[in-house]
Amino acid sequence: MNYAAARIIADLNARHGNLAQSQQEHGVDYHNVREYNRSLVLNLIRENGPVPRVEIARRTDLSRTTVSAIIDALLHEGFVREGESLDAAPSGGRRATLVHFNEGAGAILGVDIGRSHLTFLITNLYGVIQAHYSGPFDVTLGPEQCIPILITELKKFIAASNTPWEDFISIGVGVPSPLDSSAHKLISPPYMPGWDGTDVVAELSREFHIPVFLDNDANLGALGESKYGAGKNIHNFAYVKIGTGIGCGLIIDGNVYRGSSGSAGELGHVTIDPNGPKCGCGNYGCLESLASARVIIAESRLSQWFAEAPISGVSQKQLRSNEILNITDAIAAALAGDETSRKAFVRAGEYIGIALGGLINLFNPEVIILDGGVARAGALLIDAIARTAEARSVKTAWRKTHIIPGDLDKNAIALGAVAMVIDRAFGTLRLSAP
Ligand SMILES: [Zn+2]
């Protein structure tokens, strides 16, 4: 029996059992002073540890007796351990023993469900990756086929890892879809036929019997980069994922900003050209209809380069039938100097830059982090984006904005799912200053 994991699961069920409370609630419901103090001490050790008991008492303003009682309970449950002593204090007083957070007390499963891929991670309670899986997936098969495949793959992954099942505290999941207000169901996901209303939380909870939390992939990508990647210690930034769709997660004052009904960040459906092509959302000329991977791929397909030197084992016949060619091939063609493919990226970058110019004017972020398959084109795309965004934003807002690639490669969303679980498990209660 893992007491710490069991305690976290009980807490999560008690706090979040009624998820209709809304996904916007980040904090923990501290039903009594004891719980409040316990969270304060545990988060202090978790985020600033190792620390001596006396320091915990000083920083929390709690009595040493109270702190000792809390730490004894945390030691008993396995959340903390006591390590080596500090050198004797200059005053010659007693040596202080350091209290460490026990990051191995539980394990988290982070899941990124993409339209064409699955990424799974197992991490400890500090979000350090212990095991990783990445494989193909095809959401167009619909949920009746996809959910059983997802469950089977997860079970295989867990079985192949060295992590005992009793250590798992929760599953965090990212999906490329808007969610209902309880963050259980997918609502009209673009390019995912049959998935509208699918309750992913219920499907996975029924199978795995531990708490499951769901969020939109762009929000989780933003959270992942914020906790572990290029957005670390940056309080205001936008995470923009450019792939089949274009999504955006906003971090404002260190937290994911969701808006009044949870749909903030729909950058892909900002109108760029009122007379533009029809978009998946039903509107015309949205950014996504002008600059997503499918547009770039379609333009690259017209290129002479592909007709003459097909790569990745793509045959002429497959190219002509509009199959196979993917964004990786288009990037390869552009980087190899193919003019048509290169222009496709630059044009997409300019459209994205127009949208980001608007975002910069409205929101004045410190950084814009680019991720997703299209963003892997690197400087070719980022230069076009930055040039246009600068031209289309007011100087005072642009002055400080850096446009940079993400740091977490293809793990940003799954790591964001892990970070969501950690925030839910421990709450965000902390002392404002040391
Ligand atoms: Zn649209």
Spacing, Cα 136 to ligand 1 middle (Å): 26
Cα Dmax for the chain: 82
Question: Measuring CA to CA, which residue among 290, 205, 283 is closest to residue 246?
Answer: 290
**CA dist., res. 392 & res. 302, Å (int):** 30
Banded pLDDT at 314 (limits 50, 70, 90): low
Spacing, Cα 271 to ligand 1 middle (Å): 8
Long-range contacts of 332-338 (CB under 8 A, 24+ apart): 333/300, 333/303, 333/305, 333/306, 334/300, 334/377, 334/380, 335/377, 335/380, 336/305, 338/300, 338/303, 338/304, 338/305, 338/306
DSSP 199: B
CA pseudo-torsion sign 189, 191, 195, 196:
positive
Spacing, Cα 382 to ligand 1 middle (Å): 22
| Comma-separated ranges of CATH 3.30.420.40 domains in the chain | 106-223+413-422, 232-407
Spacing, Cα 323 to ligand 1 middle (Å): 24
pLDDT in tens, 348-361: 999 999 999 999 99
**CA dist., res. 266 & res. 268, Å (int):** 5
Banded pLDDT at 26 (limits 50, 70, 90): very low
pLDDT of residue 25 exceeding 60, the answer is: no
**CA dist., res. 119 & res. 122, Å (int):** 10
Spacing, Cα 293 to ligand 1 middle (Å): 14
pLDDT in tens, 30-82: 567 888 899 999 999 999 889 999 999 999 999 999 999 999 999 999 999 99
**CA dist., res. 342 & res. 351, Å (int):** 15
Question: Distances in Å between the alpha carbon of 427 and those of 16, 38, 42, 43?
Answer: 11, 11, 10, 8
Banded pLDDT at 151 (limits 50, 70, 90): very high
Topology (CATH) of 232-407: Nucleotidyltransferase; domain 5 (3.30.420)
Spacing, Cα 379 to ligand 1 middle (Å): 26
Q: Quick one: CATH architecture of 3-91+98-104?
A: Orthogonal Bundle (1.10)
Question: What class does CATH assign to 106-223+413-422?
Answer: alpha beta
Q: At CA 269, angle to CA 268 and CA 275, rounded to 5?
A: 115
**CA dist., res. 267 & res. 359, Å (int):** 8
| Comma-separated ranges of CATH 1.10.10.10 domains in the chain | 3-91+98-104
Question: Distances in Å between the alpha carbon of 423 and those of 108, 345, 354, 418?
Answer: 12, 37, 34, 9
Both structure tokens of 384: 């076009």
Spacing, Cα 346 to ligand 1 middle (Å): 21
Spacing, Cα 373 to ligand 1 middle (Å): 19
Spacing, Cα 251 to ligand 1 middle (Å): 22
Q: What is the pTM of this model?
A: 0.89
Spacing, Cα 288 to ligand 1 middle (Å): 6
Spacing, Cα 47 to ligand 1 middle (Å): 41
Banded pLDDT at 87 (limits 50, 70, 90): low
Question: Distances in Å between the alpha carbon of 244 and those of 12, 323, 353, 401?
Answer: 34, 15, 18, 25
